[in-house]
Amino acid sequence: MQRRAKTMQFQPKYPYSYLKINLDNKFPFHISEPYVQMDKTITHLHFHNYPELGICLEGSGVFVVEGKILPFQGGDIIYIARNERHLAQSLQGTVSRWHWIYFDLEKLLYPALMDSGIADLSHLSGRQFKNLISSGEYPELCSSVRKI
């Protein structure tokens, strides 16, 4: 098993594209079917109009998020903010399997919480935010997301 890097590495910027996510206005929450991530070399990134939460069901590899290199393995979760450029790559000769959760937290919480500021997730992005939550460091949190 490969050891994780303790600090994030940064890569030069990649070209990127926009992939629109469509959510139901009445209940803007969607869990994807299992997604198989191949070992294809990362040459470009993409971004979405909604945040996404991913759980790695099995496998390992790296995620590039806004130039950050984040090693992952089965059980880990990753949070990618709306409009953050990203893409994953499984280790060479392997695949990883993921579930993706897309949501609009503001619409999900409103009108139950009249202050839409409580749904502000803007602090969960940027160069200093790690994005990846290790199942080894936070097993209960990762387990809870997996149960969703």
Task: Kindly report, residue by residue over 98-144, the tens digit of the pLDDT.
Answer: 999 999 988 887 766 666 566 677 888 888 899 999 999 999 999 99
In this structure, what are the phi and psi dihedrals at residue 71, rounded to the nearest 5 degrees?
Answer: -65, 140
Predicted TM-score of the model (pTM): 0.84
- pLDDT-derived band of residue 1, with 50, 70 and 90 as boundaries? very low
Coil, helix or strand at residue 88:
strand
Closest by Cα among 77, 70, 126, 79 to 98: 77
Rounded Cα distance, 122 and 108, in Å: 17
- Residue 144, C-beta contacts closer than 8 angstroms, at least 6 positions apart: none
Give residue 122's pLDDT: 80
Task: List the single range of 23-32, 80-89, 123-132 with lowest mean pLDDT.
Answer: 123-132
